[in-house]
Structure 1
């Protein structure tokens, strides 16, 4: 973010701050770096907004889970007679997905062809399937996939599989896993999710079978990385890595967040035993 701000200052000094393409890039940069406030300031003060301007701001809101702001901005875009495109609707659908707005997501998806003449692409279908899956509407999600005019890709089946694991729908999950493995037979995450799905309903033999299949094929998962920038310093985290000197403090904060979520009647996917395993592995 600091480097981005430096570049922004340089564009002002050079007199390029009113250039539509540079302004659009700055909006996107600030949104991706988590500074939605500055992105909105540039957007509001930009003359001659084009589709990229609107799309960048809507996508920024969607990225940070600000669904109501994304939808309000989309409606404002329509009121100003700016015709949305496929990327605009993708941002709106993504915001609905993150906020769990099922009815709104259905409405905007159906409006693509009926109102805007936009043919949905795989990314749009993927958003709707993920939206339905997160809401627990797994049968509807599966029917949605079956009625797609194009062949679903591995991302779509993976999305349905993840939702099945969360909601404990074993058989739809198995179907999704098998379909994804036909497209990506060496995908480690699919094997892991399938094993976890079996384990979540107590089918330990089947879970062990999938794990053994991974071992026999030599399929291994790659550790995931996360990072966050605080005071111009980037902190990196890797799955199952306890080398961070502040790990005890991090785990304490994690426990605090888990307890807080429980007061909100939200049951986290990560159980306390898993947190302990992550700490002492």
Structure 2
């Protein structure tokens, strides 16, 4: 009993803001429940079947099995019924059942509806009927695999195409752009210019700029900008928007605003890109001025993304009052705040130390909070030392993402900050048992149009000895300053 009283006194001294009706037993139970969550064994994740392997399975499987497994009769727009009918045909009569144009349209329809399983089925039909050599069918398949996230499989289809058009080239470039593999994108672009009569279009350049945006390749982005000017795409709206976004993300706000200011026919995306660029770099005053003063004069109405950029600028600058006002003004303009808007305001309140207000906002949201919101509250609780609210945030987030290594680390640090070393050790042991590791931080620098990426604790760089030597020289130099 004396130990329990001592423990109770210790908790009260650590957190004066704990509600009077919350008992120590409940708090302890919550802490143990969190430990139970993170200590539970992860379910065996079923491995995803390779898509090209799936096509082979189609070829080895009879039509009845296909109907049972893939539910062809339940797909939209009658695509499944077409697939079912063709699968019942013999290979010798397949070409009589449909043509390349129909097959290409069917694959595109599956991609638009994100009905990838039936799309893979049509890949099977293309193989059986010999239409994979058709440029339109091949292009549709490349787009299908790209949109399903299987970029490597899209590349296999692309490489096997005997003839390629601007659609297939652009689809392949945009697929690697989604993974920020700018070097491959530029190589594909170079091959496209050298190996085909097809000229790049506005979507090709947009994909290239997106790749530069994601990888921070400012020099290569400037090169693509020059290409757009040479090829006459200066007045293309979505290329201008991509340029604004690229320059903002790469830290060149001066050139971003130059493109923004010189382009006459701006749309709401243009405004959103520029406001988000200012917000990203902590220039809240410029973002708010653009939103409140300049944008209304243009006659462009802000949308939900515009408000997200303004709220983000308030969050980075710690402007709580302005953030509340912008959030509340959304309904006055007929815009309903979405989950991202709530997340921004909750993060703003949490960073400023208004944890109770942030928690009340979470509890009164018209939608269920996601892991990002609970993670934001957990981080704020860690910074401001609110132990039990932090434990609750950790519990909620682990219920949504039980394998999140960052949550485990934050929770362990939270325990350690109040000298709950036993619980902190249990959290770290659970991480080790489950093989959870946080993603290493990384940074990159561009030198002579080449992007060099560095990851924490990564010694694989072939020039590591030289890099470490330079760092030591810098440290020695700083000591004499």
1:183 pairs with 2:407? no
Aligned with 1:110 (options 299, 323, 328): 328
The answer to whether 1:83 aligns with 2:272 is no
Call closer, same or farther: CA 1:256–1:122 in 2, change over 3 Å. Answer: farther
The yes-or-no answer on 1:203 pairing with 2:414 is: no
Partner of 1:57: 274
CA distance, structure 1, for counterparts of residue 384 and residue 417 of structure 2: 10
Residues 1:2 and 2:219 aligned together: yes
C-alpha distance in structure 1 between counterparts of 2:279 and 2:422, whole Å: 41
Report the count of equivalent residues: 256
**Deviation per residue, 1:160-217 (Å, 9 max, x gap):** 1111111111111100000000011111111111001111222212211211222233
TM-score by length of 1: 0.84
C-alpha separation in 1, matches of 2:470 and 2:336: 50
Q: Give the one of 95, 106, 109 matched to 2:313.
A: 95
SS in structure 2 opposite 1:23? helix
Matched residues in 1 for 2:282 and 2:469: separation?
29
1:154 is matched with 371
Q: How far apart, CA to CA, are the structure 2 residues paired with 1:47 and 1:255?
A: 52
The 5 A counterparts of 1:100-139 are 100-114=318-332, 116-139=333-356
Name the SS for the 2:432 alignment partner.
helix
Q: How many angstroms apart in 1 are the aligned matches of 2:362 and 2:469? A: 44
**Which residue number corresponds to residue 265 of structure 1?**
none
Cα displacement string for residues 100-151 of structure 1 (whole angstroms, at most 9, x for unaligned residues): 111111110011112x111111111111111111111111111110110100
Per-residue displacement from partner, 1:205-249 (whole Å, max 9, x unpaired)? Answer: 221121122223333333232223245343322223467443465
Q: Which residue of 1 aligns with 2:357?
A: 140
- Checking the alignment, whether the CA contact within 8 Å between 2:220 and 2:449 is kept in structure 1 is no
Match of 1:26 in 2: 243
Structure 2 distance, partners of 1:7, 1:233, is 14
Deviation at 1:255, TM superposition (A): 11
User: 2 CA distance for matches of 1:256 and 1:134?
Assistant: 36
After TM superposition, where is structure 1 displaced by more than 4 Å over at least 4 residues in a row?
248-257
Secondary structure at 1:18's aligned position in 2? coil
Q: Distance in 2 between matches of 1:159 and 1:47?
A: 39
| Deviation, structure 1 residue 36 | 0.8
Q: 1:152 to 1:233 in 2, by over 3 A?
A: same
Give the structure-2-normalised TM-score.
0.50
Higher relative contact order (Cα pairs below 8 Å, separated by 6+ residues): 2
